[in-house]
């Protein structure tokens, strides 16, 4: 791999206008006072990296649930599914992945299946790492029907800085694991709700890579995987 491939990553088209705005402001700052211009250069580079969209190597295998987001698992909890999706009111395991402003923010489908329902809900913009963000924040919920009849929910949640969730898919679309389905701008979180009886293969505090990290295996009956910090 070339050094340039390590440093320079593809950028999602959604980011071009923001990089352009940052660049224009940077030019203005240079005109006003050169030190301010260099601050603008740093922020423009950060904006480019925020919208980066690197190629990922998606694990292939029946029943694998892949992380939909880059970031850290902030919580694994047993909760009811999002009411707006109309799922049965039965407890499900929810895995929450918190994305900082330095993570890739292009989200990917955790499984292969049909997008049965997508529901956008307006809301607040509290810190996405808090548990109440699942209920109170702006969010976009996806219900994915699996080939075996089971369902998985995946919810994009806007955070303290984020102000817009952009979907790339629509109801009825056929998704495949690792497919890009949306983007959240500037800091947020993604929740995955596993079907009943499926245990996660990850732990709180673990770092996730969207499209690559295996969260669970729908075909295996395994106990929760313990972890330790070292």
Q: Which positions are catalytic?
A: 188
DSSP string of 184-221? Answer: ESSSEEEEEEEPTTPPBS--TT-EE-TTTSEEEETT--
**Rounded CA gap, 62 and 148, in Å?**
11
DSSP 52: B
Helix (H) or strand (E) holding 34: helix 34-50
pLDDT in tens, the chain (230 residues): 454 455 567 877 887 888 898 999 999 998 998 889 899 999 998 888 878 899 999 999 889 999 999 999 999 999 999 999 999 999 999 999 999 888 988 999 999 999 999 999 886 555 544 455 456 678 999 999 999 999 999 999 986 655 678 899 999 999 999 999 999 876 689 999 999 999 999 999 999 999 999 999 998 766 776 777 77
Confidence (pTM): 0.86
Residue 76, phi then psi, degrees to nearest 5: -125, 120
């Amino acid at each position: 791999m070339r050094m340039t491939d390590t440093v320079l990553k593809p950028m999602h088209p959604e980011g071009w206008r923001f990089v352009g705005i940052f660049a224009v402001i940077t030019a203005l700052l240079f005109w006003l006072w050169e030190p301010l211009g260099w601050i603008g250069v740093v922020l423009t580079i950060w904006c480019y990296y925020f919208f980066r969209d690197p190629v990922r190597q998606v694990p292939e295998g029946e029943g694998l649930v892949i992380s939909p987001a880059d970031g850290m698992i902030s919580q694994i909890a047993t909760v009811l599914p999002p009411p707006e999706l109309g799922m049965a009111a039965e407890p499900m395991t929810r895995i929450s992945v918190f994305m900082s402003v330095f993570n890739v923010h292009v989200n990917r489908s955790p499984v292969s299946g049909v997008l049965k329902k997508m529901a956008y809900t307006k809301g607040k913009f509290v810190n996405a790492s808090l548990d109440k963000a699942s209920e109170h924040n702006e969010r976009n919920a996806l219900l994915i029907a699996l080939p075996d009849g089971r369902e998985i929910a995946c919810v994009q949640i806007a955070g303290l800085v984020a102000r817009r969730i952009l979907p790339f898919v629509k109801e009825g679309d056929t998704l495949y694991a690792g497919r890009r389905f949306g983007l959240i701008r500037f800091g947020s979180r993604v929740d995955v709700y596993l079907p009943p009886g499926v245990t996660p293969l990850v732990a709180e505090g673990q770092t996730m890579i969207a499209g690559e990290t295996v969260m669970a295996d729908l075909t295996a009956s395994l106990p929760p995987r313990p972890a330790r910090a070292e």
